[in-house]
Amino acid sequence: MQYDLEAIRSQFPALSVRDGDTPRVFFDNPAGTQVPQSVVDRMSDCLLESNANLGGYFRTSELATTVVGEAHAAMADLLNAPSADEIIFGQNMTTITLHLSRSIGRQMQPGDEIILTRMDHDANVQPWVLLARDLGLEIKWLPFDLGSFEFDLSLLDDLLSDKTKLVCVGGASNLIGTINDIKTISRKARDAGAWTYVDAVQSVPHVSTDVQDLGCDFLVCSAYKFFGPHQGILWGRREVLEALEAYKVRPAPDQLPGSFETGTQSHEGMAGTTAAVDYLAWIGESMAGEFQDKNQKYEGGRRRSVHAALDCLFEYETGLVTQLIDGLQQLPGVRVQGITAKDAMARRVPTVSFTVDGVPPATIAESLAKKNIFVWSGHNYAVEAAMALGIYDAGGAVRVGPVHYNTKGELDALLLSLDEMLPRANVA
């Protein structure tokens, strides 16, 4: 019942692909993870055996209906949703948010206020900025502390008012890696009479997510960030979703979840999403025994197993991020743009961004790519955060995002490559 990295890695065919003799090192995970074979198989089975639209009398249509139902149930387990009907599938987080913002906006009057943060990905910023522009709403901004890389939630108290209708916040930052205190933020918003819309795209792959415990009203994530296919998912509190007008065509159902799932969905994406959740459950069952005990509050079976798995993965990833930050801090001119204190690792995901004095982030990403080490550079769509950190104009940061299938050896290789390239880049 120990964490078995070899067994994990053997599930992911992409991890053994080589270019010539050189292995691929995937540290681009915050932008999209690799998938286990089981995800590919489930998607291919869906396309080969259940490829039909819903609601027909024939076999493939019945099977497609099963695929869709299973996917809603799987996501309800992953997020501890009270009901599978509260799970809405869509193309991706951004599209779902732009779509839902229309329905949410129907509940607002000119002069109402939305609170956004300077830490969030633009997908949880611009949909609301556009809504505010269209409806005459006010936007208020919650900054983060540039020393601690966290929110000072007393500032949220100052921003909340009886005009606040919505607080939009990320579960974890895709740039600086901070995990936000969604439970407290949701409570404060609720006390002020506002809903909370959580962009959990970067937290769900790393942190056990329990919408009932968090107390938020909406939570959105993307399966391609948690070892599944390109697929967006929203959880919404039933009474809130039912209070909204769904923007839909007439023949679409009036009931949840179909009322918000516009047009024909990607059934193969749903099948792959179920397989990604089942993959996590497999980890929970086969190597997360002690974490199963800590997750007794979840009814047994898959729900408990996925939450146990995520706790187990978080522990492993904490080891990786500690090693990564330690190594980066020993390199000349490197500045980690995020939490670095060893005793604060529980407050961050393993996504680490850094800048190097005098060296453009793109230069570093390009040099690493030559060694088949995949990282991203730039602002990574966290536009407000990059601007707040003062790194936007200089090309953002280099972002290294290990996940549970990465190894300490891969991090050593990255750190060694950086060590070799940085002094030379500095001299140039």
Ligand X SMILES: Cc1ncc(COP(=O)(O)O)c(C=O)c1O
Residue type, 25: V
Q: Which two tokens stand for residue 307?
A: 């939450």
Residue type, 67: V
Q: Which helix or strand (DSSP H or E) is residue 165 part of?
A: strand 164-170
Q: Which two tokens stand for residue 263?
A: 């047009």
Residue 126 or 208: the one with the smaller Cβ distance to ligand X is 126
Residues 144-183, interacting with ligand X (CB under 6 A): 170, 174
Which of 46, 108, 201, 400 is the binder for ligand X (CB under 6 A)? 201
Which of 199, 210, 317, 410 is the binder for ligand X (CB under 6 A)? 199
List, in order, residues 6 or more apart from 327 with CB less than 8 Å away. 411, 412, 414, 415
Least spacing, CB of residue 143 vs ligand X, in Å? 18
Q: For the CA atoms of the chain, what is the radius of gyration? A: 22
Q: Is residue 349 within the footprint of ligand X (CB under 6 A)? A: no
Q: Which residue has the tokens 């601690």?
A: 148
Crossing angle for the helix pair 59-79 and 302-329, to the nearest 10 degrees: 60
Q: Which two tokens stand for residue 16?
A: 């053994």
Q: Is residue 188 within the footprint of ligand X (CB under 6 A)? A: no
Least spacing, CB of residue 313 vs ligand X, in Å? 18
Q: Is residue 367 within the footprint of ligand X (CB under 6 A)? A: no
* Binding range to ligand X, per CB under 6 A, among 76-84, 182-190, 198-206, 265-273: 198-206
Residue 101 or 222: the one with the smaller Cβ distance to ligand X is 222
Residues 41-70, interacting with ligand X (CB under 6 A): none
**Is the Cβ–Cβ distance between 203 and 78 less than 8 Å?**
no
* Binding range to ligand X, per CB under 6 A, among 11-19, 87-95, 176-184, 285-293: 87-95
Q: Is residue 338 within the footprint of ligand X (CB under 6 A)? A: no
Least spacing, CB of residue 212 vs ligand X, in Å? 22
Q: Which two tokens stand for residue 163?
A: 């005009």
Residue 97 or 406: the one with the smaller Cβ distance to ligand X is 97
Sheet holding 397-400, edge to edge: 334-336, 352-356, 397-400, 376-378
| Strand ranges, E, within 311-372 | 334-336, 352-356
* Binding range to ligand X, per CB under 6 A, among 88-96, 254-262, 289-297, 323-331: 88-96
**Is the Cβ–Cβ distance between 151 and 181 less than 8 Å?**
yes
Residues 106-145, interacting with ligand X (CB under 6 A): 121, 123
Residue 205 or 395: the one with the smaller Cβ distance to ligand X is 205
* Binding range to ligand X, per CB under 6 A, among 91-99, 289-297, 332-340, 399-407: 91-99
Rama region for 337: left / alpha / beta (φ>0; ψ in -120 to 50; rest): beta
Query: Residue 8 phi/psi, 5° resolution?
Result: -60, -55
Residue 142 or 287: the one with the smaller Cβ distance to ligand X is 142
* Nearest-angstrom CA–CA distance, 213 and 80: 9
Query: Residue 111 phi/psi, 5° resolution?
Result: 95, -15
* Binding range to ligand X, per CB under 6 A, among 62-70, 196-204, 300-308, 371-379: 196-204
* Binding range to ligand X, per CB under 6 A, among 76-84, 89-97, 98-106, 182-190: 89-97
Q: What does the binding site for ligand X look like in residue numbers (CB under 6 A)?
A: 31, 92-94, 121, 123, 170, 174, 199, 201-202, 222, 232
